[in-house]
Amino acid sequence: MLEIPFYEDVAFCHTKQRVNAVFELNVLPKEPNIIVYNDFVTTGQTLAAKRRLLQPLGKNLVWFTNVNNKL
């Protein structure tokens, strides 16, 4: 349909630390424009960490997030 490639596990965080999380690159997408999806946003630290990882590599990032409040 849209033929947008999906890359699972582009980056890993080896700790459960939410503040100042450090991600390690696993797979670098070849495309310059990347959609980053975060399934739950609390502090925004995960988004900031992924930006610090991918933007210096010349990637343009667009963010999508989701919050499911069905508790």
Domain-located, residue 21: yes
pLDDT reported for residue 68: 67
Q: Give the number of domains in the chain.
A: 1
Q: Digits of tens for pLDDT over the chain (71 positions)? A: 788 899 988 998 888 777 777 889 999 999 999 998 877 767 778 888 889 999 999 999 998 887 766 66
Domain-located, residue 71: no
Domain-located, residue 52: yes
pLDDT reported for residue 33: 94
In angstroms, the first-to-last Cα distance of the chain is: 34
Domain-located, residue 5: no
Domain-located, residue 24: yes
pLDDT reported for residue 31: 94
Q: How far is residue 8's CA from residue 3's CA, in Å, rounded to a whole number?
A: 16
Domain-located, residue 50: yes
Task: Find the domain containing 44 and state its range.
Answer: 11-65
pLDDT reported for residue 63: 87
pTM: 0.74
Domain-located, residue 70: no
Q: How far is residue 66's CA from residue 11's CA, in Å, rounded to a whole number?
A: 19
Domain-located, residue 15: yes
